[in-house]
Amino acid sequence: MPFVKKHAALLALAVAVILVLGAAIDVDASKNGGIFSLKDISGSRKALDGVTIRGELSDGYQRTEFKLTDGRLDTHASWNGQPEWLGTSWTMRTGSKTIPGRFYNVQNEGGAFSLSSHDSDESGSSIGFFKVARVSPPLSFPEGVLYSNPLNYGVAVIGERVFYTVPAAAGVKGKGIIYEVNFYDWFGSNGMQSGEFASRAVVEYSLISEKDSDRGISVLGLEAVGDKLVLLTEEDETLRIRSYDSASGSLLGDARLPDFRADILPTNKSFYRASYLSDAEEQSNRLLLHFQNLSLTRPLLLSVNLTDGAEVETAVRMELGDEQEEDSFQGFTYARERNGKLYVVKTVREINEDLPGFYRLMLPLHAYIYVYEDSRLIYQGEFVTDLNDDSIELATRPDPSRGISEDPMRYRAFRNLAID
């Protein structure tokens, strides 16, 4: 029976592909037509007044630029005289974030933690080895207890200054420390021997939760906004967000979000993945956080205002329903707080559990606009495009499971998004 069910699903997909082929024989012509509109799904478009959402939908051959101002959409489609390499949407991340021109790797070397700094090109790929720093925090790791996140989640960068704390899992003993690390050249060790490049302890914090002395806290990561450091921890089923002055180490603010449970490998659908994504907006002193849940259907979006301490301005537990989920391959989430509202541009993919994993990448992708006020959804719209026509070639391959490429020359993607 599972055999029949699987192949029936593939047959249905093949029929759908044939229908799409009949409706769009010339995909390039469809692209040139610039199919791009905004469809209202819920709420009033007046929620878009006072903001501009702009960006482009492009590949190496053509570009459709769009600008949505006060709810009015303008687009401009153009072709490149020569194909352009746009770079993939995949980049080397340092934990939760992309640091322009650089990324950091961290390793445990017998109790000490070694940070290496690497230069990167425009695509985010490493183009050379840079420098190294080491810290030796007073931590003890019981058997089977290590880290709540990959080690580079503890890296934060302010200008040329680099800070680090170990993302220790609950149960690790000792003292949490945020260091300002000092790098030295890989080819010289005299500085390390003389202590000239020793790291400076900026902040010390407890690894024991306030409510239960027998239960530790999970250190999720370290972020930076302007000249402030932001420490994210989970304790007593609460997300705790503390901001510190990066020079003095003084505590500036302490915000908490209840009903929050995270794990590096969650098994419960109510848990969030500890490996979050972050986006710092220095002009407005805000930190945007994005947590996925196990089912990929209930992401958590947070806007944290650090202007005066730390305040969770907006906390949205999105409900994508039973027919759509976050897309871990091509999906993106871009959010900004403007005029007392949180504006989100997000792509999600349709769900079909009957299809094998590789075939699910051919299911339709949707680009939505969400507007939240007081953490409540007041508007949802969809950018209606012909983006999904790009999967026709993929769907007609004899065996897509042999490899799926994110080729920016051939497949369109949303790029250069901004919300003003």
The structural domain count of the chain equals 2
Same domain, 235 and 156: yes
List, in order, residues 6 or more apart from 197 with CB less than 8 Å away. Answer: 133, 182, 183, 184, 191
Domain assignment present for 195: yes
Q: Are residues 234 and 360 in the same domain?
A: no
Predicted confidence at residue 241, as pLDDT, reads 99
Count of CB atoms situated within 10 Å of the CB of 357: 7
pLDDT tier, 4 (very low <50, low <70, confident <90, very high otherwise): very low
Q: How do residues 230-253 score in pLDDT, each as one tens digit?
A: 999 999 999 999 999 999 999 999
Same domain, 202 and 241: yes
Kindly tell me if the per-residue pLDDT of 356 is higher than 90. Answer: no
pLDDT tens, residue by residue, 183-229: 986 655 544 444 556 899 999 999 998 886 666 899 999 999 999 99
Same structural domain for residues 73 and 103?
Answer: no
Is the alpha carbon torsion for 55, 57, 58, 63 positive or negative?
A: negative
Tell me whether residue 370 is in a domain. yes
**Is there a single domain that holds both residue 116 and residue 260?**
yes
How far apart are alpha carbons 117 and 259 in whole angstroms?
36
Instruction: Based on the fold, state whether residues 12 and 84 are members of the same structural domain.
Output: yes
- Greater pLDDT, 5 or 280: 280
Which residue segment(s) compose the domain that 184 sits in?
93-272
Pair 131, 230 in one domain: yes
Report if pTM > 0.95.
no
Cα 358 to chain centroid, rounded: 22
Q: Is residue 111 part of a domain?
A: yes
Cβ-contact 175, 138 below 8 angstroms? yes
| 226 in the same domain as 102 | yes
One domain, residues 71 and 164 = no
Q: pLDDT (tens digit, 9 = 90+) per residue, 41-94? A: 999 999 999 999 999 998 878 889 999 999 999 999 998 877 776 665 556 789
Q: Which residue has the tokens 């149960």?
A: 171
Which of 251, 272, 293 terminates a domain? The answer is 272
Same domain, 80 and 18: yes
The reply to whether 293 falls in a domain is no
**Mean pLDDT, rounded, for 330-345:** 93
pLDDT of residue 131: 84
Q: What is the pLDDT of residue 342?
A: 97
Asked if the structure places residue 303 within a domain, the reply is: no
- What pLDDT was estimated at residue 149? 96
Same domain, 85 and 133: no
pLDDT at 1: 42
DSSP class of residue 208? Answer: B
Is 294 within the bounds of a domain? no
pLDDT for residue 282: 93
Q: How many CB atoms lie within 10 A of CB 3?
A: 7
Mean pLDDT value across the chain: 84
| Residue 291 belongs to some domain of the structure | no
pLDDT on residue 364: 86
Amino acid identity for residue 180 in this structure: E
Higher pLDDT, 150 or 144: 150
Q: Which domain-ending residue is among 272, 294, 321?
A: 272
pLDDT digits (tens, 9 = 90+) for 96-136: 998 888 889 999 998 899 999 988 765 555 566 668 999 99
Over the stretch 364-385, which tens digit does the pLDDT of each residue have? Answer: 889 999 999 999 999 999 999 9
* 4 and 29 belong to one structural domain: yes
Other Cβ atoms closer than 10 A to 139: 16
Tell me whether residue 66 is in a domain: yes
Of 226, 244, 272, the one marking the end of a domain is 272
Positive or negative CA dihedral for 113, 114, 120, 123? Answer: negative
Residue-level pLDDT at 85: 66
Q: Based on the number of CB atoms within 10 Å of its own CB, is 32 exposed (0-12), middle (13-18) or buried (19 or more)?
A: middle
DSSP characters for 6-35?
A: HHHHHHHHHHHHHHHHHH-S-HHHHHHHT-
